[in-house]
Chain A
Amino acid sequence: MTLYQFLFYVFASSAVLSAIRVISVKNPVHAALFLVLTFFSTALVWILMEAEFLGIVLLLVYVGAVMVLFLFVVMMLDINLAPLREGFVRNLPVGVFVALVMVIELGLVVGAHSFGLSAYPAPTPAPADAANTLALGSVLYTDFVYPFEIAAFILLVSIVAAIVLAHRKREGVLYQNIDAQVRVRRADRLRIVSMPASKPVTAAEESEGKPS
């Protein structure tokens, strides 16, 4: 077994095992962490397959951004797990049926007959200086520029829509106008009063202050 194969089996088995743990572990934070491990292992497998751009972007987007927000939500919510687990036995047959259908469908589409070694022989490894990112970019911005731009636009619309839906104007909330705070000058806040630095001592004060 070469180092390459060894690494592949390590990452692949870690991806599969952690994916199983995501749905079998009880603590939701642990489940989220196992999902992170799944993403991480998958990214490493992709990098082994010379898809370094996709692998790193998987890390950047899912591990670095999406799962952080997920963890936020899971940590902040006090999820009561008992009602979620109710009816496990009752729903089990439906679940098993759906899972079987999905496995069969997946098998029909991406099974060995269509993606096996005979249909897709192992490609020759790219030379060491092959620039995966450059190759992807040059295709994305030429041949697939319209789908790419449309996808970007749909994402933008969904961002705006999410903000509009979640945003609510509340009355009576105090907030700080930082621009006004930053722009404030001394003259707006501070009044310098001119006062005599010392006042002459009267005779009465002098006699009081004297030690008898």
Chain B
Amino acid sequence: MLTQFLSPWLSWLPTDWQYLVITTLGVLIILLPVVISVAYLTYFERKVIGYMQVRIGPNRVGPLGLLQPFADVFKLLFKEIITPKLANSFIFYLAPVLILVASFVAWAVIPFDKGWVLANVNAGLLYVLAIGAAGVYGVILAGWASNSKYALLGGMRSAAHKVAYELAMGFALVGVLMVAKSLNLSQIVENQAGGLFHWYWLPLLPMFVVYFVSGVAETNRAPFDISEGESEIVAGFHVEYSGITFALFMLAEYASMILISALTAILFLGGWLSPFEGTFLHAAFAWVPGIVWFFIKIAVLLFLFLWFRATFPRYRYDQIMRLGWKIFIPVTILWIFVEGVMVYFRVGPWFA
């Protein structure tokens, strides 16, 4: 879409350069809103948890505290960055960048509306999975490079639980793939057309639950935030980080929360599709652009993240491992088998 709009203006450039300019613009158009959403997600989180705990939350900086995220960002920007004396300084600074890159690059394949996607690749689902797998490195390296026992322990156990939940997530994605018969995210959304009860959350209900809960675990959010575990290991892998390097970890954590919500919305909740398709309300809501539905779905899922944090106590480490290996993975394997049987006997909605 961007290509059609910009091509006449850039026709004086060689084709390769046109491609570069348009892609760079597309990246900026996606990432700047992501970063701003991260800022306001932190504000929203503090407000939501505040009200859940019968407090008001931030309300001093700007009207209703709306400028609070900027105050936080500037505070962190101007704080001194302390490098531990015995830290491996190159890897120490590489780690937050790696985490950030992993939570940003997956946005390339996210379709925001019909045709609104930066890279409409065929293997989009696999790409998302591979990028998620690469995200573990930042945590391990941050833990190791800090040269601190708390950080190393935090990094180690975080990596172990991320690897465990990645498997469950991967199996849940296999379930989606079997029903959608495509790895292309836009195609997966289009295959869910037909209203609320045609989306994949219903035929793939166990997968939906496993995927979202694993997503919460994958982003190190409560109740799975043992990589921080301040009651046991101070702050886990980022205990030695200060100022803007610490802010990068937080930025990456919130960006991957938004990413997981977006992916859940695409894979199980019909992406940009309207929930009223096929009902009498469809005509009444036909004017709403698809991207609005998509954002509403993301916002609802993000609210769940915050709700979990305000509600559940932190899991014990052995219970996290048990949930991942002994419950989630068997559930997903069982459901893949059920889907296989359904597809073999051509039973809808699994066999579309």
A interface residues (Cβ-Cβ under 8 A, vs B): 2-3, 27, 29-30, 33, 36, 52-53, 56-57, 59-60, 63-65, 68, 71-72, 75-76, 129-133, 176, 178
Judging by beta carbons under 8 Å apart, are B20 and A3 in contact? yes
B123 at the interface (CB under 8 A from A): yes
Contact of A129 with B122 at beta-carbon distance under 8 Å, contacts A33-B91, A56-B127 already known: yes
In the bound assembly, the distance between CA atoms of A19 and B19 in angstroms comes to 31
Which B residues are within 8 Å of any A CB, using their own CB? 16, 19-20, 88, 91, 121-123, 126-127, 129-130, 132-134, 136-137, 140-141, 144, 152, 156, 159, 163, 166, 183, 318-319, 322
- Check A63/B133 contact, CB under 8 A, given A2-B16, A3-B20, A178-B318: yes
- What are some 7 contacts across the A-B interface (CB < 8 A)? A3-B20, A33-B91, A56-B127, A59-B134, A132-B123, A133-B122, A178-B319
Q: Which of A27, A59, A64, A72 is the most central at the interface, judged by chain B CB atoms within 10 Å of its CB?
A: A64
Q: Which of chain A's residues have a CB closer than 8 A to the CB of B123? A: 52-53, 56, 132-133
Specify which chain B residues have a CB less than 8 angstroms from the CB of A130 in the assembled complex. Answer: 122
Interface of A is mostly: helix
Cβ of A68 and Cβ of B136 under 8 Å apart? yes
Known: A2-B16, A72-B156. A59 touches B122 (CB 8 A): no
Contact of B134 among A29, A64, A176 (CB under 8 A): A64
Which of A33, A72, A178 is close to B159, meaning CB atoms less than 8 Å apart?
A: A72
Report B-chain residues with C-beta under 8 Å of the C-beta of A129. 122
Q: Which residues of A contact B319 (CB under 8 A)?
A: 178
Q: Do A53 and B126 have beta carbons less than 8 Å apart?
A: yes
Q: Is the beta-carbon distance between B163 and A60 smaller than 8 angstroms?
A: no
Contacts of B144 in A (CB 8 A): 29, 71, 75
Q: How far is the CA of A71 from the CA of B143 in the complex (A)?
A: 12
Q: Which residues of A contact B140 (CB under 8 A)?
A: 68, 71-72, 75
- A residues in contact with B134, CB < 8 Å: 59, 63-64
Complex Cα distance A68/B271, Å? Answer: 32
Asked if residues B163 and A68 are in contact (CB atoms below 8 Å), the reply is yes
A133 to B318, CA, bound (A): 37
**Bound CA span A200–B100, Å:** 68
